[in-house]
Amino acid sequence: MSVLTPKNLSFRLALALGGLCSLGSSLIWIINNPFNFTFSVSIFISTFILSYLFLLWGIKQYVDKQFKLIYKTIHSLKIGLKKDSQKVDIEEDIFVKIRKEVIEWDINNRAEIDRLQEQEKFRRDFIGNISHELKTPIFSIQGYILTLLEGGLEDERINRSFLQKAEKGINRMIEMVDDLDEISKLESNRIELKKQSFDIVKLAREVFESLEDKAKEKQINLKVLQEDKVINVNADPSKISQVLTNLTVNSINYGTVGGSTSIKFFDLHDNILIEIKDTGKGIAEEHLPRLFERFYRVDKGRSRADGGSGLGLAIVKHIIEAHQQTINVRSTEGKGSMFSFTLKKA
């Protein structure tokens, strides 16, 4: 099937018009005169040429106008199409071209809509998660305060401990708001890393020392391997301290009594690989892909009692990625987990 170009269409119509005109005029002619071949041919040729030129011009004008209208509509929706494709080429099948461009535009649009819907869902989930997470401490604080107001304040046995519990709930909320603030800053790149050269082994020792008491409560042994080495990295020490703290706290919270957490360093060409390994409860394979998502928890019921809201690892990942480095996890349920990330050598 031949393509429908303006040229092609004009040619066919002009051919038909030329034929009709020469036939008509020949019929009129032969009523009074004998048939004249030259007359018929010249009528055909002149009608053909004139109508061809006229039709070509007319069709081009018409298509041009319609074509521009389509582009204008598409452009007014602020979806960019190639500017040069607005010109009508008389040798080209414009309808196929329009179809192609509209399909292209439609595909782009769909991708954009999918992206926006994804973002919308993300935002809805995020708000839902925040309110859900805040409810727990708010309700417990409310409960303690109500009990105190309803007479508990005078009861020496509970007044102090209830106030302490309410304070714990408030601290929990402050922690969560701080975490959310940190995440939003990291996500919008509002955090400026203060990179400098420092000894990562020393920092790991300091973090472990600060968590010694917490680890003791669960009889978990914290151990920095290669502890006498000096390994300098180029990173933001306060942020990396937070990474080590979050990972170590997790290893204690989800660790087993009498277990251990160790930290190890490996020299990789330009980077240092840092591995934090525990002998805790481990994480089932199906949870690993979503582990670094904000608010994601493996055991939702249990973590809630521990006060975890699933933000720690999201922060860790953001910090490592802000350093243009990567973090990974390997874990076996019942045996333990190993989180490893890299940092640039100083």
Ligand X SMILES: Nc1ncnc2c1ncn2[C@@H]1O[C@H](COP(=O)(O)OP(=O)(O)OP(=O)(O)O)[C@@H](O)[C@H]1O
**Positions that interact with ligand X (CB under 6 A):** 179, 246, 250-251, 254, 278, 280-283, 291, 296-299, 303, 308-314, 337
Q: Which of residues 51 and 309 has its CB atom nearest to ligand X in the complex? A: 309
Three-state secondary-structure class, residue 55: helix
Q: Which residue is nearest to ligand X (CB)?
A: 312
What DSSP designation does 85 have? G
φ and ψ at residue 338, rounded to 5 degrees = -140, 120
Distance CA 44, CA 325 (A): 78
Three-state secondary-structure class, residue 156: coil
Q: Which of residues 250 and 261 has its CB atom nearest to Mg ion in the complex? A: 250
Q: Which of residues 179 and 236 has its CB atom nearest to ligand X in the complex? A: 179
Q: Which of residues 99 and 290 has its CB atom nearest to ligand X in the complex? A: 290
Q: Which residue is nearest to Mg ion (CB)?
A: 312
> Which listed option, Mg ion, ligand X, none, makes contact with residue 18 (CB within 5 to 8 Å by class)?
none
Closest CA to 136 of 176, 164, 163: 176
Three-state secondary-structure class, residue 233: strand
Q: Regarding beta strands 196-199 and 232-235, do their DSSP bridges make them parallel or antiparallel, or are they unpaired? A: antiparallel
Determine if 255 is a binding residue for Mg ion (CB under 5 A). no
In the chain, the amino acid numbered 93 is: D
As measured in angstroms, the least distance from the Cβ of 289 to Mg ion is 18
Quick note: the x/- pattern for Mg ion over 191-230, rule CB under 5 A, is ----------------------------------------
Among 6, 280, 312, 336, indicate the residue that binds Mg ion (CB under 5 A): 312
User: Alpha helix locations (H) across 188-338?
Assistant: 200-210, 212-217, 237-253, 300-306, 312-322
Q: Which of residues 250 and 325 has its CB atom nearest to Mg ion in the complex? A: 250
Please report, as ranges, the residues that interact with Mg ion according to CB under 5 A. 250, 312
